[in-house]
Structure 1
Amino acid sequence: MTKVNAIQLFEDKKVRTAWDAEQEKWYVSIIDVIEVLTNSDRPRKYWSDLKSKLIKEGSEVSDKIGQLKMQAPDGKMRLTDVADTEQLFRLIQSIPSPKAEPFKLWLAQIAVERLDELQDPEISIDRALNQYIQLGYSESWINQRLKSIEIRKELTDEWKSRGIKEGQQFAILTDIITQSWSGKTTKEYKILKGLKKENLRDNMTNTELILNMLAEASTKDISKAVNPDTFEDNINVAKQGGNVANVARKELEAKTGQKVVSSSNAKLLLKSKSSGNKK
């Protein structure tokens, strides 16, 4: 299955999803859905009990449930039970919740939105813009973040043209770029910012985003110039691209006397913005 993992927001709660491009349908983490609908602090236990109940009732829904690797709270990709939209509608009928109907409408809407985005990629950018506005990010940060999405897409397209495989190889090259410019692996960077399953880029400051963009854009440009043939060649290109931003980072730090790579995360950045607006 060709899939793209994504975090969706329902009433400010995160729901892990994966888009199956071949079947043109979403797969959604059942644990996340249960947590949203029940506010249970033990959604896994709730799901385990619900599965047992459905089996006793002779329901075939739980038999058709599949598993996909999704990012767990500790940041690692772990197998979790998922269901497509049709299966979720049936499961939700077995979960007493005042949020059931709004959630069904939300599920139907994201399915339609994804098909719209495939026809017009600009729609996905507009939706991302609105989502960041709702979360409270500043206009300048949002502009940088949307540009970073564009640059990231250009880089991954270049990798695909070189035969780089999505998943592990993408992750390895991304980690090399991050470490080359920031001096930290992606994992170390997220630990510094106190992150678990949150997106690292969504928790970068403007300056961090700019340097990360420079690193990825440089990697893409160097790749087009030298035409790497093997994965090892692409690793060398990733190091070179990251180093371009590393030089810029060190020069900026020398001029300002301040470290670029910081522990600031979205929670702190948005709190700071909120406090500033109250003054």
Structure 2
Amino acid sequence: MVDSQQGKQNMELIPIPHEALGNQDTEELVEVRRVWNMDDQLWYYSVIDFIKLLTRSKNPGVYWSALKKRHQEDQGFTDILGKIKELPLRGKDGRLRGAEFATREVMLRLVQTIPSPQAERVRLWLAQVGEEKLQEVEQHTQAEQLRASYIRQGRTPEWADARIQNLLSRNALTDEWLVRGAQQHLHFGLLTGTIHRGTFGITSDTHHHTIKQLPKKVKHPRDHYTEEELGVLTLAELAARRMHEQHDSQGVPQLLQDAQAAGAFGGQVRLQFEALTGQPVVSSQNFLDHPKEKRKKQRTQVSPQPSLFDQQEQDQ
């Protein structure tokens, strides 16, 4: 029976690396379909696609039917069949039809039953994939929890979204710095400060901490940035990350050069925004100024998920 909840699945094509196929010299792109099932929070892989991959059969459906008949008395194989789901896929004619899909664990068992010289390579590859979506879901859950925490503090949903987007973008940027030769305690402050000064036109003597009159104990000054400040800074840091990727920047001097250019870009964005709105982007506003009843909520908040703050936001 076809699972009627097709709205809760997202299908994608996943390429199979050549080394998993044992033909590293070929340019052929081999892909299999997989579906993310929102109810189970699991990937389901197309059975027919794996049959075709392993057997190179021109009629994988016929091969699959014959395989099921051949093993119909095999209890282990019957157990595998019992865990295969029929999920709806939309065909070229626009109609939904049932297609057989299995989780990674079930597919690993199924691959072992198919005689193929590529079975072991494919099995090893399949054993390694699938975790990235779980990490994505975990991060999404953490972001939702953090968003709820900010709103309990009295922040607006729009501000919370801007803060989380800035946080995720910042972490992606510092990940780039690490793999490109920067060291967190030696270079992150320099790179961050370069982007920050270029974007906001703030020198070390007029630090954001000073402008917003934040106590030294405040670890994350960006929690006190306005939505405008967060938006402009997020764009500047995204520009830095894109430049690192495009230039394949390696080492602190090249990263610093990109940071200077990104800061200059951020400064242009800020000036254009100020010209358009007639209001300065840099603000003395901080969350410490909020009413007592909102600050009371802050004291009772659930602690944010630490993995989203995996790097210190040094020097702003």
**Structure 2 counterpart of 1:228, which letter?**
S
Give the one of 243, 260, 264 matched to 1:222.
243
Q: Which moved more, 1:177-186 or 1:141-150?
A: 177-186
Report how far residue 246 of structure 1 moved.
0.6
Question: How do 1:133-148 and structure 2 match up within 5 A?
Answer: 133-148=151-166
Q: Secondary structure at the match of 1:121?
A: helix
Report how far residue 240 of structure 1 moved.
0.8
**Structure 2 counterpart of 1:171, which letter?**
G
The residue aligned with 1:131 is 149
RMSD of equivalent CA atoms: 2.6
Residues 272 and 139 of structure 1, relative CA distance in 2, 3 Å threshold = farther
Give the one of 183, 192, 212 matched to 2:211.
192
Q: Does 1:171 align with 2:192?
A: no
TM-score (norm. length: structure 2): 0.46
Report how far residue 218 of structure 1 moved.
0.5
Residues 118 and 225 of structure 1, relative CA distance in 2, 3 Å threshold = closer
Report how far residue 266 of structure 1 moved.
1.2
Question: How do 1:61-72 and structure 2 match up within 5 A?
Answer: none
When the two structures are aligned, how many residues end up with a matched partner? 158
Q: Deviations over 1:91-125 (max 9, x none)?
A: xxxxxxxxxxxxxxxxxxxxxxxxx9999333332
Q: Does 1:152 align with 2:170?
A: yes
**Structure 2 counterpart of 1:190, which letter?**
H
Q: Deviations over 1:28-82 (max 9, x none)?
A: xxxxxxxxxxxxxxxxxxxxxxxxxxxxxxxxxxxxxxxxxxxxxxxxxxxxxxx
Distance 1:273 1:257 in 2: 32
**Structure 1 counterpart of 2:209, which letter?**
K
**Structure 1 counterpart of 2:217, which letter?**
K
Structure 1 unaligned blocks of 5 or more: 1-115, 275-279
Structure 2 unaligned blocks of 5 or more: 1-133, 295-316
Distance 2:245 2:271 in 1: 26
Q: Secondary structure at the match of 2:207?
A: helix
The residue aligned with 2:285 is 264
Q: Which moved more, 1:138-147 or 1:180-189?
A: 180-189
**Residue pair 2:147, 2:157 contacting (<8 A) in 1 also:** no
The residue aligned with 1:210 is 231
The residue aligned with 1:182 is 200
**Residue pair 1:190, 1:200 contacting (<8 A) in 2 also:** yes
**Residue pair 1:144, 1:210 contacting (<8 A) in 2 also:** yes
Report how far residue 193 of structure 1 moved.
0.4
**Residue pair 1:178, 1:185 contacting (<8 A) in 2 also:** no
Distance 2:211 2:188 in 1: 22
Kindly name which structure, 1 or 2, has the bigger radius of gyration based on alpha carbons. Answer: 2
Distance 1:227 1:273 in 2: 49
Distance 1:119 1:250 in 2: 37
Question: How do 1:243-254 and structure 2 match up within 5 A?
Answer: 243-254=264-275
Identical aligned residues as a percent: 28
Distance 2:293 2:179 in 1: 41
Q: Secondary structure at the match of 1:260?
A: coil
Q: Which moved more, 1:134-143 or 1:184-193?
A: 184-193
Distance 1:272 1:259 in 2: 27
TM-score (norm. length: structure 1): 0.52
